[in-house]
Amino acid sequence: MIEGTLCFVVDDDEVLLIEKRRGLGEGWYNGPGGKREDGETIRECAVRETREEVGIDVDTPALSKAGELTFRLDGDPQIHCHVFRTHRFDGDPRPSEEARPKWFAIDEVPYDRMWEDDRHWLPGVLDGRTVDGTFHFEGGEPLDEADFVDYDIEWDVSFDE
């Protein structure tokens, strides 16, 4: 199973999203993030991926653990994702080979151009809540070609870090 991160940078009433330029979810919006590398902590992964994808530095102590999401395909776990949220960062977002960054008003997040499961958990995360969720997909490989079928969510959970 892949272990990865997402990092949602919030500035006042806007959130920084990326349009993926390649790989899983290409053409869709999401938060910066990606796969954890060997020897790296989850927080280090979130910081590194955000820097690589959009060129900004997030303040590691200000990263708040907002969720853990497990994505299952045909019953088998595929991805376990640690979700972070922060209001503190340095730099101006810039495009990279992986991503085109764009600020969106929180009430105008383009859920129709995101993973189908995002509309079930991201609004709560952007509202300051924490989430532990499992999302079930069927019938496609890779995961972004599968059908979203069901989910289980627990809100306002605490995470040991």
Per domain, the residue ranges of the chain are 2-155
Residue 119 corresponds to which tokens in the numbers above? 């509309």
- State pLDDT tens for residues 114-145: 999 999 999 999 999 999 999 999 987 778 88
pLDDT for 158 = 96
Report whether pLDDT(24) > 80: yes
Contacts with 142 (C-beta within 8 Å, 6 or more apart), sequence order? 24
pLDDT for 141 = 75
**pTM for this predicted structure:** 0.95
CA distance linking residue 146 with residue 140, whole number of Å: 4
CATH number at 2-155 = 3.90.79.10
Average pLDDT on 97-101 reads: 96
CA distance linking residue 123 with residue 153, whole number of Å: 13
E-strand ranges in the chain read 2-11, 14-20, 29-30, 33-35, 57-58, 64-73, 76-86, 89-90, 99-105, 131-138, 147-155
